Amino acid sequence: MEYRNCNDELSVILLGRLTVELPELEVNLQKQLSIRKVIDEVLYKYEVTTKETSLVASDIEEKACLFLACRKLEGLSERTLKNYQLELQLLNNFFHKPVSTINSMDIRMYMATIGKNIQQNTINTKMVPIRNFFQWLQDEEYIISNPTKKVKPVKEPIRERDPLTDAQVETIRDGLIDIRDKAIFEFLLATGCRLSELINIKVSDLDWSRMSLLVIGKGDKQRRIYFNDRTKIVLGKYLSNREGQCEYLFSSSRRPYGQLKQRAVQLIVKKIEEKTKPGRNLYPHIFRHTFATRALKYMPLETVQALLGHSQISTTQIYAKTDEANTEFMYKKIG
């Protein structure tokens, strides 16, 4: 007979039985975590073992490789593939049994474990690859049912998008001196593009006459974005004065004047905050929030959805917050 330590397995089983007996635990993730911590503390002093005649091997890693290969063929970006790979590796480290034996309670216990000391929205984000993986397993008939379907996402606190005010935009604009800082600020504000899209734009991508360009967004989807006269003028000044012959729109200010990376742009935006002191925490995505909020005052929801590259219109609706001043303004227009 072969023996193995089963403390973790017993901890999961006990918590699962308690959840069955106390249904309120099913929707109270924090309480589950507290109870799991107490169980683990008690079991720490003991070594629980079980008898078995054969070891059951996990096939998660094997199936995950196939899943990632399929997603790569479907055009998933390298960055997203790496995120998927990381989350699936964590899943593989947690479970030591075949995917066909993983049930909904197992998934809840996994969420409780990875949910320690992180925010609710982060838990849901980390679960996206896991949910997609099990749905793929079901679609490919590796498993009969998808255990993640019965597991609801963790309820996230509702937070309104808080864009820059007009006064804050002008404060930043008036305080900028460096031409590259100005160009990055005006371009992000005018286009609403993502940081990942910004760093991959080449000078040759710009259609100066139409003041537009095509970008590659999430899911390798292409869309057209536009910029205004102010941005066109600032970009022209920046490009005519910068050093080097970099093919990318935004390049480093030091040799060899290569393509700016995401971290570099984040640091530039943080320095813009320090220099201009708008009274707000600045980060690249706040300009996308600001663009979306402004655009929704003048454009149909579907148009803004297309400009932002959202696959679901519900994502765009997050920005569709109407304040009292705007409601009054729109009402007077019909009077």
Query: Could you read off the pLDDT of 9-57 as tens digits, one per residue?
Result: 677 777 777 877 777 776 677 787 888 888 888 887 777 766 544 445 7
Whether 96 is catalytic is: no
DSSP 8-state class, residue 202: B
pLDDT of amino acid 2: 41
Whether 194 is catalytic is: yes
Kindly state the helix (H) or strand (E) to which residue 85 belongs, with its residue range: helix 78-94
State pLDDT tens for residues 270-302: 999 999 999 999 999 999 999 998 898 888 889
Q: Is residue 232 pLDDT above 90, yes or no?
A: yes
Asked if 239 and 202 count as a contact pair (C-beta separation under 8 A), the reply is no
pLDDT of amino acid 193: 94
Whether 288 is catalytic is: yes
Q: Is residue 198 pLDDT above 60, yes or no?
A: yes
pLDDT of amino acid 260: 92
Residue type, 9: E
Candidate list 110, 238, 248, 319, residue with the active-site label: 319
pLDDT of amino acid 5: 57
What Cα–Cα distance (Å) separates residue 18 from each residue in 8, 21, 273? 15, 5, 50
pLDDT of amino acid 156: 67
Per-residue confidence at 161, pLDDT binned at 50, 70, 90? low
In the chain, the percentage of residues whose pLDDT exceeds 70 is: 88
Asked if 308 and 288 count as a contact pair (C-beta separation under 8 A), the reply is yes
pLDDT of amino acid 191: 95
Of 203 and 123, more confident: 203
What's the rounded mean pLDDT across residues 74-88?
87
Kindly state the helix (H) or strand (E) to which residue 113 belongs, with its residue range: helix 104-114
What's the rounded mean pLDDT across residues 117-127?
84
CA 265 to chain centre: 18
Candidate list 173, 218, 223, 289, residue with the active-site label: 218
pLDDT of amino acid 169: 95
Per the prediction, the chain carries an average pLDDT of 85
Candidate list 182, 194, 238, 294, residue with the active-site label: 194
Asked if 194 and 217 count as a contact pair (C-beta separation under 8 A), the reply is yes
Phi/psi for 306 (5° steps) reads -65, -40
What's the rounded mean pLDDT across residues 304-328?
74
Per-residue confidence at 139, pLDDT binned at 50, 70, 90? very high
Is pTM beyond 0.85? Reply is: no
Whether 289 is catalytic is: no
Q: Is residue 137 pLDDT above 60, yes or no?
A: yes
Highest mean pLDDT among 47-56, 60-69, 231-240, 318-327: 231-240
Looking up tokens 């910004």 gives 198
What Cα–Cα distance (Å) separates residue 153 from each residue in 5, 102, 127, 142, 148? 32, 18, 8, 24, 10
- DSSP string of 245-296? --SBSSB-SSTT--BPPHHHHHHHHHHHHHHH--SS---HHHHHHHHHHHHT
Residue 188 makes CB contacts below 8 A (sequence gap 6+) with 198, 284, 287, 288, 291
In the chain, the percentage of residues whose pLDDT exceeds 90 is: 47
What's the rounded mean pLDDT across residues 165-184?
95
What Cα–Cα distance (Å) separates residue 63 from each residue in 56, 111, 134, 142, 191? 16, 20, 10, 9, 40
The encoded tokens of residue 31 equal 């309480």
Domains of the chain: 60-96+118-154 (1.10.150), 166-323 (1.10.443.10)
Candidate list 96, 232, 275, 285, residue with the active-site label: 285
SS3 317: helix
The encoded tokens of residue 196 equal 């990942």
Q: How many residues does the chain have?
A: 335
Candidate list 126, 182, 288, 294, residue with the active-site label: 288
Residue type, 235: L
Residue type, 272: I
Peptide bond into 284 cis (omega under 30): no
Per-residue confidence at 225, pLDDT binned at 50, 70, 90? very high
The encoded tokens of residue 154 equal 């963790």
Phi-psi region of 105 (alpha: psi -120 to 50; beta: other; left: phi over 0): alpha
Q: List the single range of 15-24, 104-113, 140-149, 265-274 with lowest mean pLDDT.
A: 15-24
